[in-house]
A and B are shown apart, each in its own frame.
Chain A
Amino acid sequence: MSLRISVRKSGTVTILDLMGCITFGAAADAFKAQLREIAESAERDVIVNFAEVSQIDSSGVGALVQSYVSLTRGGGTLIVINPVGNVREVFEVTHLNRTIATYADEAAALASLRSTSAGA
């Protein structure tokens, strides 16, 4: 099963809705490329929605961590929402859930980004 990425905006925040599996090969590469594009843009706050992702492997975790580091270094923010099932477990085992801010829904993630911006 491949990965489908839908991109939408909420104000200055980019939201990626993912569907499928983020595994070694084209899927992980496409995911990383999409996040790199955001890291190189002017608006670097991104929410990644994992609600429809059924599987993620080391390559997917690697893509997410590397993107998180480059976005953060560039002054951006990466937030994860809705990791479920196996994906959630992978996040726990790899400590990603403690490294990257994770929320149960989009509204909470957007509110967090807005409060961060307001406090800046």
Chain B
Amino acid sequence: MRDAFPVATELCFGAYHVDLRTGELRKHGRKVRLAGRPFQILALLLEQPGELLTRKQLQERLWPRDTFVDFEHGVNAAIQTLRRALCDSHKKPRYVETLPRRGYRFIAAVETVPATAGGSPGSVVHQKEKPAAAARSDWIGRIAKICDDAGRNYVLLPITEEIFAEMNDCEAANDDLGISLLVAAEKLLLVNCGTKVKILDARNPDLGCKVRILDGQFVGEKAFASRAHLSGLS
């Protein structure tokens, strides 16, 4: 089977980061389990965001002609797995839209991450973890605002980095009750966008920062804010 991936590159959409060379998907810096055909379909969709990827194209590129398989079932299952990994919904898609009887379209804005030194395009880099960005000690004590790139008025702030990981695990597993229970237990704090926070720790700025909430219902509480939910830092 030929390689279905386009020229090696890194792409971002929403809270997600895709490394097409290593076949890794990350959300807020944390790895999301996605492999095989579901990942290959994501890669094909990201080749041409906004464009229709027909079921026939999918079949030609991902299912070899000389193999007898239940293509219809295979593609449906792969799309379902992909949607689960992206916490996406068939009815209200944020990323993968179904065009009935025709195919699929990637509907979110996609950004290309500039290539880093050390890997020529197309080369396979077997990299276990991305090197961590340098700590931003200059952020400590600064005031930032909570924001949401999806334009919502609220976000969930985990109280620790461990709860952040648990929340991501729940999302990857589509464990909606798990998320709701974390809110009920006040391990995920429901915070208004625009809430001010003070940066307490920025050892892993790509992922997020430990913060103290300065106003609203949870004033005085500590939390872990992902980088995507912090504005006013540069």
Which residue numbers of A lie inside 8 Å of B, CB to CB?
24, 57-58, 61-62, 65-66, 69, 86, 89-90, 92-96, 98-99
Mark out the residues of chain B between 154 and 185 whose CB falls within 8 Å of any chain A CB in the assembled complex. 154-156, 176-177, 179-181, 183-185
B154 to chain A, nearest CB (A): 5
Complex partner residue of A99 from B155, B156, B180, B217, CB under 8 angstroms:
B180
A68 to chain B, nearest CB (A): 8
Residue pair A57, B181 in contact (C-beta under 8 Å): no
Cα–Cα, bound, A90→B183 (Å): 11
Residue pair B176, A99 in contact (C-beta under 8 Å): yes
> Chain B: interface secondary structure?
mixed
Cα–Cα, bound, A24→B217 (Å): 9
- Nearest to B186 among chain A residues (CB) is A58
Cα–Cα, bound, A95→B180 (Å): 6
Residue pair A61, B180 in contact (C-beta under 8 Å): yes
Cα–Cα, bound, A58→B186 (Å): 7
Q: How many B residues face the partner with a CB closer than 8 A? A: 19
Residue pair B154, A89 in contact (C-beta under 8 Å): yes
Chain B residues, Cβ within 8 Å of A90 = 154, 190
- Nearest to A91 among chain B residues (CB) is B180
- Nearest to B89 among chain A residues (CB) is A98
5 interchain residue pairs of minimum CB distance: A62-B184, A98-B176, A65-B184, A95-B176, A95-B179
Cα–Cα, bound, A99→B179 (Å): 9
A66 to chain B, nearest CB (A): 6
Known: A61-B180, A65-B184. A93 touches B156 (CB 8 A): yes
Chain B residues, Cβ within 8 Å of A24 = 217
Cα–Cα, bound, A86→B188 (Å): 18
Residue pair B152, A93 in contact (C-beta under 8 Å): yes
Chain B residues, Cβ within 8 Å of A66 = 184
A25 to chain B, nearest CB (A): 11
Known: A58-B217, A89-B154. A96 touches B180 (CB 8 A): yes
Mark out the residues of chain B between 194 and 227 whose CB falls within 8 Å of any chain A CB in the assembled complex. 217-218
Chain B residues, Cβ within 8 Å of A58 = 183, 186, 189-190, 217-218
Known: A58-B190, A62-B183, A62-B186. A94 touches B217 (CB 8 A): no
Known: A58-B189, A58-B217. A94 touches B152 (CB 8 A): no
Chain A residues, Cβ within 8 Å of B152 = 89, 92-93
Known: A66-B184, A99-B177. A57 touches B190 (CB 8 A): yes
Chain A residues, Cβ within 8 Å of B190 = 57-58, 61, 90, 93-94
B185 to chain A, nearest CB (A): 8
Residue pair B183, A65 in contact (C-beta under 8 Å): yes
Chain B residues, Cβ within 8 Å of A94 = 156, 179-180, 183, 188, 190
B140-154 contact mask (Cβ, 8 Å, vs A): 1 or 0: 000000000000111
- Nearest to B170 among chain A residues (CB) is A95
